[in-house]
Structure 1
Amino acid sequence: MEIQHGDWLHFLTQWSEEWADSHGRVEELSPDDVAARRGRWLGTDPATEADITEMEDRLGLAMPPSYREFLRVSDGWSHAGAFVWKLAGTREAHWHDDAMGLGEDFDKYWAEEDNPEEVRAQVGLWSRALQLDVESDMTFVLLDPQDVGPDGEWAVRVWASWRANGDPERYPSFAAFMIAMHQEFHTHAPGRDGEDGPAFINSTTRAQDAAVARAWTAALRGRHEEAAALLAEAQKYGRPYAHELLDQITRLAGSRGCGTQPPHPDNPRFLSEQLPLKAADLLNSGQPAEDWHYSDPKIFPDTARAAADIQRAVREGTYRYQPGGAFGEAVHDAREQARWGDTDAAWQILRAAIPSWEPLGPGHIAPMGLLADPLLAPVLTVERRLEILRTPRGGESGPAPAPAGDRNPDGLSWLARPGALRPWQTSASDYRMILVEGIAPDELPALLGSEPGTVLSPPLRQWDITRHHRPDQRVSSSYDDKPLVSVGRAGPGWCFAFEQDPSARFDTERFVSPAPDASAGGGRAIVIWHEWRQDTPLFHVSAAEGGTLRYAFTVSAGTLKATVGDVPAELTSPALGFDAPDADGQAAAAARALDAITLLHGVTVPRLALTEGRLHTFESLSWSRPPGPGETYVTISIS
């Protein structure tokens, strides 16, 4: 909204009439407000040109254009928003005298050298500004004669002692300030939330509610930017659904959202969409679980038990988003793909089902519960969230968006790239893994588990694996090498068990390849161990079939240290170039070795699931032999 030249009378008249219509209880009003309600006018008589000239002579400056135009319509104003009860006209406006002594502290903070120019420009505000608030709730309204736009407008800065944000809020002109205060009045008007008194319905609310309805339809047709613009304006007036619809758009567009209001149990989306997302926000914020008030039966008697179950499931990583209908079936199938690492397949299932998704009411434009599902939330990269926003759904039609690309590179050689497993690193990451043919991932614990009856954990994030499996570990040994591995599918007919940053370093004398045990069922198994961030780069491969080791080799610092069996020609050291003298050359050799294994066996491991997602895990048998006679080892105990 803008106030054009000559529109002040219309704008202020409309505001006054809306204010008068919203106050049905005359007995609660002051005598002045009773008169304002009866006269349907919050202002005073217009200021004459002589009044304005006299004011400018007194203050020593010509007033900015929009304030001058306002004065020509009303020489002052009552109820400018919710916290300024009287706004100055020509007689009350005066230079701020900083009676509270705010200038010294603010100027010291604003003048710091590392502050941006727009912050430093505020120095001296408290001693130079024109004060427009006459009566308020500890709120200052200041016109800044040194913050002048190309149109001659002075910026207005509003500071309230009780607001969390310490700096004054800036408006580019007096007109912009008054528009914002009209909007603030709307968000606090009596009757707007079903309170006692007349219903708060007028031309402004009808226009903004119509805009929200258009935004809802536009969003379901995939036009989220158009919808966001409409909702951003309607939100300023506090219109129903505007805030929550805009929050859904901003979250899916890749930002943190605009802040969700507390969900209400009467909303059909309370348990399926809003509450799980609230629980995920709480978990990701690091706040204590005690901050979760939705499981308090005194506050939410009908839903407290369900809320507690949701919070626990989100915290443990076992929460499942379960919408109904055809889209719900697709979500189930996508979860099955994601839990074994195939995040691209999971997304393809979801993408195909998005047009069939249906909203749960007019405050719903997207399946937001996906963002709370521990398996599917990592699947929804920024590009994929945008594709959801751009896809027509909920019975609406429109052009389909360009599809977001896959995130998992084929094969294994991506593991040799800098930052492969940790994007912030400049070198490749250490890892070890075993690829097994002919079995499903959930069969790996029976072959490689550290103890009989080893089972898979719930899907875990990388940083939760050790805490889950060894919450009270106090003793560790240099010979106790039982990897905590993440598992998933590794291509057609293959599965993998993978450990980032192995807990032990590779030792040629002690290493025992788990490949024979893993291949005991008759298939093939391949072990790869790559140490890159240590002082001496190392690359090991061992392969078995039917329980028998077929070949193995280890390259350390470019030198072939050990070879067993008939190593395929594609994996011989001269063919790969491991004798390169520099680190980059050895990294390239490791990448060629991984490419060769990919071509020989058609295997792959999923980057997105390993770096950002959740996978089932288990503790593997040791990859090192026990100490022999006379060998020493180190045991570390933590008391």
Structure 2
Amino acid sequence: MTETTTFAWRPFLLTWSGEWADSLSEDDTRAEDEDARQARWLGFPPASGERIAAMEERLGRRMPPSYREFLEVTDGWRHAGGFVWRLAGTEHADWHNDASGLGESFEEYLEEDAGPEERREVDIWRRGLQLDVESDATYVLMDPEDVDEDGEWAVYTWASWRAEAPERHASFVEFMRDMHREFHSLRSRDAKPAFANDTTREQDARVAEARREARDGDWERAVAALDEARRYGRPRAAGLGDQLRRLLGHTYMVYFEDLVTDPRYAPDLLPPLVAEHAANSNWDDSTLKFHLRGADDDLVSLAYATLDQVRSGTYRYAPDGPFGEAVERARELARWGDTDGAWRTLRDAVPLWEPSGPDHLAPLGWVADPVLGPLLTPERGRELLSTPRGGGVGEAPDPTPGLDPGGLAWLAEPEQGDSHRPYRFVLVEGVEPRELPGRLADDGPGLAEPLTLWEARVRSLRDKREFSSYDDKALMAVGRAGNGWSFAYDGDPAPFDGRRFVSPAAGAAGGTGAVVVWSDLGARHGDPFFHLSVARHGAEVYAFTYAGGEVRRRSGEIPEALDPDRFFGGPEDSAGTERRLLEAVAAEFGVHLPRHAIRVGRLHTFTTRSWTRPPGDGEAYVVIQMNRGEPLPADGGPALGEGPGTD
């Protein structure tokens, strides 16, 4: 419910007028404003009941309550914010009737299926009551069709130089309060002498209290107070609030204003700032300096060095002290897939974190760390912000649930916004993830630095110059799969070729056990299939492949729990069958794959040897070679060869 009859217009307007008068120097006062400055009153005489009634008869509508009460105090207003120099009273308020032509202009860009909000941005120009009389290309319109339960009309403001959709204010009183905040924000920025009054002192006290509340874990009250102080233009309020917003998952227009250039806070605030810049800049770094206004050369150099680290994936968040030690433990867990354990380690250490100064509200640099950053979710951000830290007092919040469901059945679920996709993985018992390249790959560079699977695929193709139709070397992410098990996972496998497929289970199981699963039971193209093979001590123990609607290549003595006849041949849909199969594999071997790390996190990767046998006699294949810097063939395609030994 909006504030209407309870709003004290006269004290509010008197305070505003006095603040305005005190903020002016002799040189700032326009001749037409001198009387207002001397009187310390931006308004006019009150409108009589007769004038208000005549206005309403002229316009054919009763005015909303807060605007009527405003008129009873002053018949118009000067300097409503920074860009409306004269606001209408009873004489000048009139229907706009699209006199600006903006309704017609907005109509041209309106989609046929536009909803009520988009439609309102067009219709407001045709039905709105115009209140701006003199302004800096700024329109103020009250909408008689956007009415709340108290009869208040919403107010819309729009300026051509802002190039945004009209801004909505819930009522006339809310519009005026917003304009008072705008006046403060502009004066606080550049007023001489210094802009100080009861309002600024009240807001500064609220900022100080918000610092304490944030450290105590009462982040919601802190955010509300800091947002209000920011709208009043109070120093550092935006930078303080941005620290909390960033941990809530917000990145848009989060710049840590006034704080990121402070040498005390820059080491922790620069990384998330430059990480967001790197994600959205398209390598145009000119805008980064815009957010570093006032920084010295050393700090600018630090910003660009951090940017290079973020882009190369080498940035490491490394605070000092006990909290820093916990950060290292969390990174070690996360890089092998245990993101839930990593989060618990980080969260439990938050009370040990020490701020760099009074305006440092929470640890931030870790969100830019390529391994730790994916741990953040809005729920976890709220959990961290609810945890007392940096000398704060209060109770720790209840822990958020883990993000990994355990087991393997989640693989049968489509990713959000995507259909079911094929996958394959290898589980090896009794070895660490870093040992998997030695079991699944030929001689090579070993494990790459942690990357998302998409980043790893892009990098693997960057310098690749030869592609073979018979070669199926898998790019796989690695990590821990439970007590004593490690995994290698490929979420974008090549098409399954049952005629030439060679399970890597035997090669991976030297001196231990290995399990291979390759599934595309939800195939959109081709036949659904599912393959399972288990090996011990270098030899296959049992295996089966389901394809073409039947079980094929069945071998060895398959345990009853994994017998394919239990899963195939019934009426159950493919997703249900796959889920039951995966549950059975997880239960048989006591393994799991970490969903969050695989889908969102960054893991070490490597490339395996081929999953298909070499071509036999008489089998044709294609090799494609792409030479850097050499022109393509005349037809625009790569050079092709066919048959053994062809280049």
Deviation string 1:173-198 (CA, Å, 9 cap, x unpaired) is 32222111101001101xx24x4622
Deviation string 1:542-573 (CA, Å, 9 cap, x unpaired) is 33333333333333345332244444444333
2:642 is aligned to none
SS at match of 1:142: strand
Residue 365 of structure 2 is aligned to residue 369 of structure 1? yes
Deviates more, 1:244-253 or 1:388-397: 244-253
Task: Show the 5 A alignment for 1:472-491.
Answer: 472-491=463-482
| Aligned-partner residue type, residue 20 of structure 1 | A
Alpha-carbon distance in structure 2 between the residues aligned to 1:431 and 1:148:
54
Work out whether residues 440 and 504 of structure 2, in 8 Å CA contact, stay in contact via their aligned partners in 1. yes
Tell me the CA shift for residue 593 of structure 1. Answer: 4.3
Task: Show the 5 A alignment for 1:287-366.
Answer: 287-294=282-289, 301-366=297-362
Deviation string 1:408-446 (CA, Å, 9 cap, x unpaired) is 23333332x231xx233454x322222222322122223
1:280 is aligned to 275
Alpha-carbon distance in structure 1 between the residues aligned to 2:210 and 2:434:
46
1:517 is aligned to 507
SS at match of 1:483: strand
Distance change in 2, residues 1:570/1:115 (3 Å): closer
Q: TM-score when scaled to structure 1?
A: 0.88
| Aligned-partner residue type, residue 21 of structure 1 | D
Picking from 607, 613, 636, the partner of 1:625 is: 613
| Aligned-partner residue type, residue 138 of structure 1 | A
2:158 is aligned to 159
Residue 525 of structure 2 is aligned to residue 529 of structure 1? no
Alpha-carbon distance in structure 1 between the residues aligned to 2:614 and 2:597:
33
Question: Number of aligned pairs?
Answer: 623
2:171 is aligned to 173
1:401 is aligned to 397
Alpha-carbon distance in structure 2 between the residues aligned to 1:160 and 1:33:
23
Picking from 573, 577, 595, the partner of 1:607 is: 595
Work out whether residues 454 and 619 of structure 1, in 8 Å CA contact, stay in contact via their aligned partners in 2. no
Distance change in 2, residues 1:572/1:393 (3 Å): same
SS at match of 2:541: strand
SS at match of 2:185: helix
Residue 36 of structure 2 is aligned to residue 36 of structure 1? yes
Work out whether residues 542 and 553 of structure 1, in 8 Å CA contact, stay in contact via their aligned partners in 2. yes
| Aligned-partner residue type, residue 104 of structure 2 | E
Tell me the CA shift for residue 125 of structure 1. Answer: 3.9
Picking from 426, 434, 459, the partner of 1:434 is: 426
Alpha-carbon distance in structure 2 between the residues aligned to 1:113 and 1:196:
47
Distance change in 2, residues 1:37/1:481 (3 Å): same
Work out whether residues 461 and 613 of structure 1, in 8 Å CA contact, stay in contact via their aligned partners in 2. yes
Work out whether residues 261 and 295 of structure 2, in 8 Å CA contact, stay in contact via their aligned partners in 1. no
Deviates more, 1:376-385 or 1:92-101: 92-101
Structure 2: segments with no counterpart, 5+ residues:
626-636, 639-647
In percent, how many aligned pairs have the same letter?
Answer: 48
Work out whether residues 558 and 578 of structure 1, in 8 Å CA contact, stay in contact via their aligned partners in 2. no
Alpha-carbon distance in structure 2 between the residues aligned to 1:143 and 1:527:
67
Alpha-carbon distance in structure 2 between the residues aligned to 1:122 and 1:448:
60
Work out whether residues 247 and 257 of structure 1, in 8 Å CA contact, stay in contact via their aligned partners in 2. no
Picking from 598, 604, 628, the partner of 1:616 is: 604
Distance change in 2, residues 1:62/1:407 (3 Å): closer
Work out whether residues 263 and 270 of structure 1, in 8 Å CA contact, stay in contact via their aligned partners in 2. no
Give the superposed CA RMSD: 3.0
Alpha-carbon distance in structure 1 between the residues aligned to 2:228 and 2:280:
29
Alpha-carbon distance in structure 2 between the residues aligned to 1:139 and 1:42:
19
SS at match of 2:157: strand
Alpha-carbon distance in structure 2 between the residues aligned to 1:105 and 1:542:
65
Work out whether residues 235 and 258 of structure 2, in 8 Å CA contact, stay in contact via their aligned partners in 1. no
Work out whether residues 214 and 361 of structure 2, in 8 Å CA contact, stay in contact via their aligned partners in 1. yes
Work out whether residues 276 and 311 of structure 1, in 8 Å CA contact, stay in contact via their aligned partners in 2. yes
Q: TM-score when scaled to structure 2?
A: 0.87
| Aligned-partner residue type, residue 178 of structure 2 | A
Tell me the CA shift for residue 587 of structure 1. Answer: 5.0
Alpha-carbon distance in structure 2 between the residues aligned to 1:593 and 1:528:
10
Distance change in 2, residues 1:289/1:317 (3 Å): farther
Tell me the CA shift for residue 123 of structure 1. Answer: 5.6
Work out whether residues 81 and 183 of structure 2, in 8 Å CA contact, stay in contact via their aligned partners in 1. yes
Tell me the CA shift for residue 4 of structure 1. Answer: 5.3
Work out whether residues 552 and 567 of structure 1, in 8 Å CA contact, stay in contact via their aligned partners in 2. yes
| Aligned-partner residue type, residue 29 of structure 2 | L
Picking from 420, 434, 439, the partner of 1:447 is: 439
Distance change in 2, residues 1:164/1:105 (3 Å): closer
Task: Show the 5 A alignment for 1:191-270.
Answer: 192-193=188-189, 195=190, 197-256=192-251, 259-260=254-255, 265-268=260-263, 270=265
Deviation string 1:459-511 (CA, Å, 9 cap, x unpaired) is 1112112211121435422211111111111222221111112124142x422
Structure 1: segments with no counterpart, 5+ residues:
none
Tell me the CA shift for residue 45 of structure 1. Answer: 3.1
Alpha-carbon distance in structure 2 between the residues aligned to 1:583 and 1:553:
19
